[in-house]
């Protein structure tokens, strides 16, 4: 074990993705490379500003903002991210552009508006496009928060994977923020994740069941997850540029290059303060499962993945209103009831596990932000209520302009308070 390896929950890495849009029309603007330049002015994939970094994504209208290393505490992280948002928007303003939050752009046409990153590592992006046709939702129109949690050794890896299997299915209930796409109200509240379920179907081993498999060691993970994926992609990748662990498209993936588990099913929220509150709730629930306070995964007879996928799909559709009627799952999560909504389960988890994360002062801030989600619904539900029944309609652009303002100001989006 490396001397600098962090143990489970010894740090957190956060990544946030945003769309670049026109300041007036809110149409996507493929100009990320204007912000990603080194001291000589050359376009690069990433620039570092100390604690934070900016980097590219698959397409030119997206920017990723991330903590450059694992943060020992989440304290002050929302404020740090907010300062970077201000810096990004200041750089975009002379170009007539700004950042837009949420899990998807509401009316982008990925077929006609996608511009794949053409600079460094372009061969990888071209291969993705050739194999999967990236001019589609879940490839070209996707903004998410990734939460990275470290592990040290096989025992911690196995326990962290087991915890993620229990918590991952209910994350869309808290974080769904993509109810509108193609300029229309969708039939699910987390349309980003709905598209994600099948976006890499041409290479099924990349996606698996989205919920990660119950695997107990690095060797087993490499043999049972990574190796089949590499074999399957080889038929489409003669040059071998895709043979890397980032090819894994499950909802939680293991990154051995940094000894971390990366959660990928959280839609981006309206501002970093809300993202960090969602991250804190997620980490609290994960830690309770990891420590055995909640669901303990029997390595001999793990909880059936198919039942976890059923819960995930229900939460993708109905978010907080999704009905969970798996009594064994609920008991494992500390609720001795036969059925309840995902929102009720999160209310219980926030009440009982948020104390495992941060200081009492931080917890009070997160609780206030999470209470907005618990009372008014996840951002997707608040967006739909603000837009009203007529989509498309005159309210759609106004609501998303307000969401851009929320991002710049660092304020939550509350319909009921308006």
Q: What pairs with residue 141 in β-bridges?
A: 137
Burial of 196 (0-12, 13-18, 19+ CB in 10 A): buried
Q: Please report where in the chains the tokens 């040059």 appear, as a residue.
A: 239
Euclidean distance between CA atoms 76 and 65, whole angstroms = 16
What is the rounded end-to-end Cα distance, in angstroms, of the chain?
Answer: 53
Integer Cα distance of 294 and 163 in angstroms: 9
pLDDT given for residue 1 in this prediction: 37
Cα 165 to chain centroid distance, Å, stands at: 15
DSSP-derived 3-state class of residue 390: coil
Q: Are 215 and 196 in contact (CB under 8 A)?
A: no
pTM of the model: 0.97
Give the span between the Cα atoms of 130 and 50, in whole angstroms. Answer: 36
What pLDDT, on the 0 to 100 scale, is given for residue 2?
Answer: 44
pLDDT tens for the chain, 418 residues long, are 344 589 999 999 999 999 999 999 999 999 999 999 999 999 999 999 999 999 999 999 999 999 999 999 998 999 999 999 999 999 999 999 999 999 999 999 999 999 999 999 999 999 999 999 999 999 999 999 999 999 999 999 999 999 999 999 999 999 999 999 999 999 999 999 999 999 999 999 999 999 999 999 999 999 999 999 999 999 999 889 999 999 999 999 999 999 999 999 999 999 999 999 999 999 999 999 999 999 877 877 899 999 999 999 999 999 999 999 999 999 999 999 999 999 999 999 999 999 999 999 999 999 999 999 999 999 999 999 999 988 877 899 999 999 999 999 999 999 875 4
Question: Where do runs of H (alpha helix) occur along 300-341?
Answer: 305-318, 327-332
Distances (CA, A) of 351 to 255, 292, 318, 363, 370: 31, 17, 22, 10, 11
């Amino acid at each position: 074990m490396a001397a600098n390896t962090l143990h489970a929950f010894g740090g957190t890495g956060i990544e946030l993705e945003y769309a670049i849009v026109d300041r007036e029309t809110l149409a996507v603007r493929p100009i990320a490379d204007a912000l990603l330049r080194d001291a000589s002015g050359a376009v690069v994939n990433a620039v570092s500003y100390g604690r934070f970094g900016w980097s590219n994504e698959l397409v030119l209208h997206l920017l990723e903002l991330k903590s450059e290393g694992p943060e020992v505490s989440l304290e002050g992280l929302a404020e740090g991210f907010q300062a970077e948002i201000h810096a990004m928007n200041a750089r975009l303003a002379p170009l007539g552009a700004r950042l837009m939050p949420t899990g998807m752009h509401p009316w982008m046409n990925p077929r006609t508006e996608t511009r794949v990153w053409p600079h460094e590592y372009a061969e990888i992006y071209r291969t993705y496009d050739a194999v999967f046709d990236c001019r589609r939702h879940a490839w070209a129109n996707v903004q998410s928060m990734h939460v990275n949690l470290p592990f040290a050794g096989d025992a911690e890896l196995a326990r962290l994977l087991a915890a993620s299997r229990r918590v991952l299915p209910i994350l869309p209930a808290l974080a769904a923020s993509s109810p509108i796409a193609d300029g229309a109200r969708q039939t699910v509240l987390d349309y980003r994740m709905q598209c994600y379920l099948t976006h890499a179907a041409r290479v099924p081993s990349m996606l698996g069941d989205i919920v990660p498999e119950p695997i107990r060691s690095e060797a087993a993970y490499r043999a049972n997850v990574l190796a089949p994926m590499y074999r399957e992609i080889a038929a489409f990748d003669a040059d071998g540029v895709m043979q890397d662990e980032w090819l894994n498209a499950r909802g939680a993936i293991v990154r051995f290059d940094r000894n971390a588990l990366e959660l990928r099913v959280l839609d981006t929220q309206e501002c970093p303060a809300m993202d960090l509150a969602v991250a804190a709730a997620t980490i609290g629930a994960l830690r309770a499962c990891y420590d055995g306070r909640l669901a303990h995964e029997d390595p001999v007879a793990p909880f059936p993945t198919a039942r976890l996928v059923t819960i995930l799909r229900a939460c993708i559709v109905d978010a907080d209103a999704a009905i969970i009627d798996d009594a064994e799952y609920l008991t494992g999560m500390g609720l001795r009831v036969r059925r309840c909504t995902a929102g009720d389960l999160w209310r219980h988890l926030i009440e009982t596990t948020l104390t495992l994360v941060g200081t009492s002062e931080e917890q009070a801030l997160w609780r206030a932000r999470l209470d907005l989600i618990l009372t008014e619904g996840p951002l997707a539900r608040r967006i739909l209520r603000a837009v009203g029944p007529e989509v498309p309609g005159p309210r759609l652009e106004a609501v998303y302009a307000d969401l851009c303002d929320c991002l710049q100001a660092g304020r939550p989006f509350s319909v009921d308070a308006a």
